[in-house]
């Protein structure tokens, strides 16, 4: 039975997505590559606009399998409580929309959360480290297409290109690295290393003249 895979890369400024259809013979067909930008109003209007766009995409392509790039709890040089909180709100809003859609279709699948390291390692052609900027070329080779490039006014590659390639990367990685989607994703906190036992402190006695005399008397 043919399957339709949908992948999302979520941020508060731009959401990239990719849609792939896997035919019965295993052949992959690129259905859509796109993005949308939530309105820049207050946080409630932003989230509502994101939810509306996501639901439109879900009902248009009717995916059987959905994957979303999970949030990073630490981003070197960019991490802050405000940044992580904002990303979390948008990411989980998309997750909830996808979950509600899958339930409405009678599917027992859950949306899959994929970390960026797993996605890029799965798509690497030669086992080499993959940067965000490498993905359009890698996806083009893997899917046999000319990946669409968006240029800005200065004729440089627009960042929206990488939002789209991230969305398609999530989608393709989900195809190449299958799991049992009927099991709910869980966030299991990392086990903390047991603290090393503190060695008892040894009292050091100052070598004063009185202490030396006392020590000599004890020896006698």
CATH code at 92?
3.30.420.10
Residue 211, in any domain of the structure: no
Residue 217, in any domain of the structure: no
Residue 68, in any domain of the structure: yes
pTM over 0.85: no
Per-residue pLDDT of 129-178, as tens digits, reads 999 999 999 999 999 999 999 999 999 999 999 999 999 999 999 999 98
Q: Which of 20, 8, 106 is nearest to 53 (CA)?
A: 8
Residue 61, in any domain of the structure: yes
- The secondary structure of the chain in percent helix, strand, coil, rounded to multiples of 5, reads 40, 15, 45
Rounded to an integer, the average pLDDT of 60-69 is: 97
The pLDDT assigned to 66 comes to 97
Residue 145, in any domain of the structure: yes
The pLDDT assigned to 175 comes to 95
* Choice among 3-17, 54-68, 119-133 with the minimum mean pLDDT: 119-133
- Mean pLDDT estimate for the chain: 87
Residue 38, in any domain of the structure: yes
Asked whether 21 and 4 are in contact (CB, 8 A), the reply is yes
Residues 32, 161: Cα–Cα separation, whole Å: 14
Q: What range defines the domain where residue 36 resides?
A: 3-185
Residues 129, 122: Cα–Cα separation, whole Å: 11
* Choice among 83-92, 156-165, 210-219 with the minimum mean pLDDT: 210-219
Provide the edge-to-edge strand list for the sheet that holds 15-22. Answer: 28-36, 15-22, 3-9, 65-69, 112-114
Residue 108, in any domain of the structure: yes
pLDDT over 60 (residue 189): no
Structural domain count, the chain? 1
Residue 59, in any domain of the structure: yes
Asked whether 16 and 32 are in contact (CB, 8 A), the reply is no
């Amino acid at each position: 039975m043919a399957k339709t895979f949908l992948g999302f890369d979520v941020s508060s400024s731009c959401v990239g997505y990719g849609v792939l259809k896997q035919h019965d013979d295993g052949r992959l067909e690129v259905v859509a590559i796109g993005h949308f930008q939530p309105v820049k109003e207050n946080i409630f209007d932003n989230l509502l606009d994101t939810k509306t766009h996501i639901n439109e995409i879900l009902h248009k392509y009717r995916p059987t399998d959905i994957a979303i790039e999970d949030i990073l709890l630490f981003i070197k040089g960019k991490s802050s409580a405000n940044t992580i909180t904002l990303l979390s709100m948008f990411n989980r809003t998309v997750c909830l929309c996808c979950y509600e859609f899958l339930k409405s279709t009678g599917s027992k699948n859950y949306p899959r959360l994929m970390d960026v390291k797993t996605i890029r390692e799965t798509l690497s052609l030669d086992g080499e480290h993959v940067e965000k900027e490498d993905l359009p070329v890698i996806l083009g080779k893997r899917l046999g297409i000319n990946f669409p490039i968006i240029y800005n006014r200065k004729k440089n590659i627009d960042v929206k290109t990488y939002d789209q390639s991230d969305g398609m990367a999530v989608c393709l990685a989900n195809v190449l690295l299958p799991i049992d989607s009927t099991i709910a994703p869980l966030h299991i906190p990392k086990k903390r290393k047991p603290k090393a036992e503190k060695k008892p402190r040894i009292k050091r006695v100052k070598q004063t003249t009185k202490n030396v005399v006392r020590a000599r008397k004890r020896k006698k």
